[in-house]
Amino acid sequence: MCMIKSMTGYGKAEALSAMGKLMVEIRAVNHRYGEINVKLPRLFFPFEGEVKKKVAERMKRGKIDVFVQFEQSAGAGLQLEPDLSLARMYYDALDSIRSSLNMSDPVPLSLVVSQKDVLVARENPVAADNLGEELSAVVEAAVNDIEAMRVREGAALAHDVMERRSLLSGLIGQVAERAPAVVAELAQKLRERVRQLAAEVQLEDARLAQEVAILADKGDITEELVRFDSHLQQFDDILKLQEPVGRKLDFLMQEFNREINTIGSKANDSEIAALVVQVKAELERIREQVQNIE
């Protein structure tokens, strides 16, 4: 069973924790190679390489944009640290004022801690580490989401290209049926032409046979038909692979076009020319679909 995946897709996942709300979106479009761009908040900068690696393990081809958004809960990931020496300085200064004003009430603790920089909010490194683990899990879920979409679209692509492959087989079969008659008709035309010129040009039977053989060889498309059939078999084999096949199919489409162009130029026959046009049209439709395959 084939496992074709589309290069285009969209996936999303999010999670809530004590730290806040984390959301990851992944968007992918067609691209000749694999290109991953990650946009994330400053807090997550240390994890950019890990995010790229996790996405690259599952998505081999396409232009892939990963967007990370984070809404941090108030106070999450922070810890308060007192500056005791500064608090003592504030207390001494406030107590000196109290004494100078002959006030009996002691200096309240709330007044001391409310002074600037007595309590400093610092990032909790343990919380940041936990955030990295949470990010990894959400990225994995987002990748699962977009991969499911790419597999669904890939199944539709596979169905379409296999139907068109069947059309190709039928058309090239008609070309193969017509090919022997073309050679025979060319030979007959040559003989008739020679008979018309017989009064002016003396041509031996052996020489005539040789000319007919040369003409037949020039118009013989047997090798091209055999290679075209071989490419059709390769096409079927590639579709069965459990790996990204877009590049292989893209290369094979070039081979198909090379053979059909040669057939069209060598055959020199109106019926085959009409069939060649149909084959080229189907090849172009398949090529357009192949551009969407990972």
Q: Residue 62: which residues within 8 A CB-CB, separation 6 or more? A: 7, 8, 28, 29, 30, 31, 34, 35, 294
Tell whether the model's pLDDT for residue 140 goes beyond 90: yes
Tell me the pLDDT band of 162, cut-offs 50, 70 and 90.
very high
Q: Give the residue-averaged pLDDT of 83-93.
A: 90
Note if the pTM is more than 0.75: no
Residues 118 and 145 in one domain: no
Same-domain pairing of 161 and 184 = yes
pLDDT at 197: 62
Q: What percent of the chain has pLDDT over 90?
A: 56
Domain that holds residue 69: 9-75+125-151
Written as one letter, the residue type at 119 is: L
Decide: helix, strand or coil at residue 10: strand
Same domain, 99 and 199: no
**Is 2 inside any structural domain?**
no
| Residue 4 domain-assigned (yes or no) | no
Residue pLDDT, tens place only, 12-67: 999 987 778 899 999 999 998 899 999 999 889 999 999 999 999 999 999 999 99
What does 95-107 look like in DSSP terms, one character per residue?
A: HHHHHHTT--SPP
235 and 200 inside one domain: yes
Query: Worst-scoring range by mean pLDDT, 14-28, 113-127, 196-210?
Result: 196-210
Q: Are 179 and 286 in the same domain? A: yes
Q: How far apart are CA 21 and CA 37, in angstroms?
A: 22
Domain assignment present for 56: yes
pLDDT on residue 81: 84
Do residue 184 and residue 270 come from a single domain? Answer: yes
| Distance between CA atoms of residues 207 and 99, nearest Å | 133
Tokens 């081979």 belong to residue: 255
Q: Structurally, how many domains does the chain consist of?
A: 3
- 3 assigned to some structural domain: no
